[in-house]
Amino acid sequence: MWRLVADFMNDLGMLMDLLSPLFPSSLIIIMCLGSLSRSFTGVASGATRAALTQHFALANNAADISAKEGSQETLATMSGMGLGMLLAHVTRGHDLVVWVSFLSLTIFHMYANYKAVQSLSLSTLNYERTSILLQYFMEHGEVLTPEQVSKQEHILPFWSSWRKLLRVKLPHELVHLGAKASMLAHSDMLLIAKTRSYYTN
């Protein structure tokens, strides 16, 4: 999810850079907001890069994966810079073509990143994956594989925001690790009683 947010903020920063000449009176403010947006991108992408590197390091070769990722990123950046300079030269003086090119490439960029994140099957647990596993186990008594969990996981951040607004509790929020029975609410005790069959041999 945060990988997509980082890419979106980066694209938003570039959009502000393009918009800034259209509003001379607010030029400084718009450019500062664009820089702030790209700064957020650096923080979010750095955090997600570490998690993804660990996921791909199946042979405990995180350093090797990181080095290869850096090399590919450098090659992609330089290729994109060359194509960008060529496109800027071709579209010089044609504002409409510039905007159409920018918006088209931005939409394609976000779509490609969405499909890339969607193809991942992470084996580590976060809140939503834990809830999916618990819910399925409670209903069917089976443990899902990482591939099955990834198909049910929400990639876009909107689900999390709506869930908080609607006050919907996920299964992982009903789990209290290391809690004393005397500290549990009556509703929690009833829930444990209903699910006691899962804890018997």
Q: Does any domain span residue 164?
A: yes
Judgement on whether residues 89 and 141 belong to the same structural domain of the protein: no
pLDDT of residue 196: 66
Query: Based on the domain organization, do 8 and 89 belong to the same domain?
Result: yes
- Please answer whether residues 160 and 181 qualify as being in contact, where contact means their C-beta atoms are separated by less than 8 angstroms: no
Query: Quick one: which of 150, 195, 145 has its CA closest to 171?
Result: 195
Distance CA 19, CA 13 (A): 10
Nearest to 173 by CA among 124, 116, 135, 123: 135
Co-location of 16 and 82 in the same domain: yes
Decide if 13 contacts 116 (C-beta within 8 A).
no
d(CA 19, CA 198): 58
Q: What is the DSSP string of 124-146?
A: S--HHHHHHHHHHHHHHS-PPPH
Whole-prediction pTM: 0.66
Q: Are residues 73 and 137 in the same domain?
A: no
DSSP class of residue 14?
H
Going residue by residue through the chain, which has 201 residues, state the pLDDT in tens, using 9 for 90 and above.
677 888 888 889 989 988 888 888 888 999 899 889 888 888 877 777 777 777 788 788 888 888 888 888 899 889 989 998 998 888 888 888 889 999 999 999 999 988 888 888 887 777 778 888 888 887 888 888 888 888 888 776 555 555 555 555 665 566 655 667 677 777 877 877 777 665 554
Residue 19 lies in a domain: yes
- Note whether 6 and 87 are same-domain residues: yes
Within a domain: 111: no
Chain centre to alpha carbon of residue 193:
37
15 and 90 housed in the same domain: yes
In angstroms, the CA 96 to CA 129 distance is 44
pLDDT of residue 54: 78
Q: What is the phi/psi pair of residue 88, to 5°?
A: -65, -35
**How many domains does the chain divide into?**
2
45 located within any domain: yes
Print the domain residue range for 137: 127-199
